[in-house]
Amino acid sequence: MNDVYTYPDYTERDPSFPDAVAAEKQRVLGRLATGSVSHMELLCIPSDNTPLQPREVIETAIVQLEQAGQIEKDHETEATSHQNLIVSYKLTS
């Protein structure tokens, strides 16, 4: 059993998935270098207009970075307009 998180069966459908996740990890780390960033902001088109990866790639990169101890949840805020939590991440100190 592989203990590194990936979306189930995604690698079988897209062989470039591991490379895309590796590149996305670098993008996430770069965005967090300036401070706390919300989960939703990480899923949006970055300010440098680089192409946005599929959500599965971004989510996998975030989870793998969190598992590796490189990033951590900064805070969670309950959204008033819907029943979701807004999670922000930061680089681990």
Does 1 reside within a domain? no
What's the chain's average pLDDT?
81
Output 66 or 41, whichever has higher pLDDT.
66
Which DSSP string corresponds to the chain?
A: ---S---TTHHHH-TTHHHHHHHHHHHHHHHHTTS-EEHHHHTSPPTT-PPPPPHHHHHHHHHHHHHTTSEEEEEEEE-SSSS-EEEEEEE--
d(CA 49, CA 45): 6
In a domain, 2, yes or no: no
Residue ranges making up the domain that contains 40:
10-91
Is 43 domain-assigned?
yes
Return the percentage of the chain with pLDDT > 90, whole number.
Answer: 31
Domain assignment present for residue 48? The answer is: yes
Looking at the 3D structure of the chain, how many domains does it have?
1
| pLDDT higher than 60, residue 43 | yes
Model pLDDT, residue 1: 43
pLDDT per residue over 44-78, tens digit each? 866 666 778 888 899 999 999 999 999 999 988 77
